[in-house]
Amino acid sequence: MAEGELQRKLKELIIDEEELSAALVDRARRFIRLTRDGRVVLMIPKDKLPLRSQILLYLMGKRLARELGLVEKDVASIEEISGAVGAEYFSVAARLKELKDQYMVLAVERGGYTVQLAKLQELLDSVEKSITPKS
């Protein structure tokens, strides 16, 4: 393979971040909104989403709020997540452990959790699959 052809092929690996980001935002808008002070608002009724998906959406919202400069930190404690999604502390802790074991969330400090920006597409895929259809 000629060097010019190799360079052309290698450039095919580069993604357009703005295009990816726009698609990500469009998908995320179906599930969450952010207030000007960085609070995460779930747009789908909680009874349509398993707790695991609610946690992922909350952490995703925190991460996006940080990217927008609405909050300084995207790390959330179990207590914060529990209060935000209205779930029992130990249930949230158990789901976070499962999500951490599946590399969907990161434990970045004792009792603090976040998600990787690079994983947001995968997280949205997981949430979309988990939605309970309307009866």
Q: Which pLDDT value is given to residue 18?
A: 55
Antiparallel, parallel or unpaired: β 106-109 and 76-77 = unpaired
Q: What is the DSSP letter of 119?
A: G
- Domains of the chain, first to last: 3-130 (1.10.10.10)
- Reported as a single tens digit per residue, the pLDDT across 22-65 is 778 888 999 999 999 999 999 999 889 999 999 999 999 999 99
Confidence at 118, pLDDT banded by 50, 70, 90: confident
DSSP 30-50: TTEEE-TT--EEE-S-GGGS-
Residue 19 pLDDT > 60, yes or no? no
What is the rounded CA–CA span in Å between residue 78 and residue 93? 6
Mean pLDDT in the chain?
A: 88
Q: Are 96 and 103 in contact (CB under 8 A)?
A: no
pLDDT at 53: 95
pTM comes to 0.82
